[in-house]
Amino acid sequence: MKEKKVTNIFKFIQQSRQEASKIVWPTRRETITTTIMVFIMVTILSIFFLITDSIISFLLRIVLSLSF
């Protein structure tokens, strides 16, 4: 039973190394491009939510000021 566990561990490590060797890492250019795109999207969405929140807040103040 113990030999089987040891064999399974070695087999697992060997298979893990084989799978790790198949990894294709992005190039520096791809990484920079993706990072810039993420920053742009975060900025656009931040502005969108700021405007949306301001509009909702303004409308809520109007509605609440109408109540008696």
CA distance 44 to 38: 10
The type of residue at 38 is V
Question: What is the average per-residue pLDDT within 10-26?
Answer: 92
CA dist list (Å): 15 to 5, 19, 58, 61: 15, 6, 60, 62
Confidence of residue 29 (pLDDT cuts 50, 70, 90): very high
pTM for the structure as a whole: 0.63
pLDDT at 67 over 90: no
Residue 60, H or E segment: helix 28-66
